[in-house]
Amino acid sequence: MSLPDDIAFSLHPRCPVCRKGRLFKPWSISVVDKCAECGANLGAHDVGDGASVFLIFLLGATLVPSAWFFDKAFSPPLWVHAILWTVVGLCIIALVLPAVKAYIILLEFRHRK
């Protein structure tokens, strides 16, 4: 598989075997135990804190410089920073965490022995 296929898989997470069944439980990032379509055992995949650690580095590398540039450009009060960067950080987490977790599961499935 190519990197664009892997990214497409991560953005629309499905079973890594059949690519049809759901990977996560509804409204959650918990992996389903078995694929509803092909019956593959997906519950055995344990990504641990890998996705969270990656996201911490991503947020640290993007939000801190963004907040600094925003402060230098506009000099808003501290409460604006608190609200703005909390909302931006939570939105990034909500959008990126499931994709990163799905990608790690795909890599685990592809490279397991």
Predicted pLDDT of residue 81 = 95
Task: Indicate the burial class of 37 (C-beta count within 10 angstroms; 0-12, 13-18, 19 or more).
Answer: middle
The pLDDT value recorded for residue 60 is 93
Look up the pTM and report it: 0.82
From first to last of its 113 residues, the chain has per-residue pLDDT tens of 688 988 988 999 999 888 899 999 998 888 899 998 998 888 877 777 888 898 999 999 999 999 999 999 999 999 999 999 999 999 999 999 999 999 988 888 888 75
Please name which of 20, 17, 2, 31 lies closest in space to residue 101, comparing C-alpha atoms: 31
Measured distance CA(75)–CA(29) in Å, rounded: 37
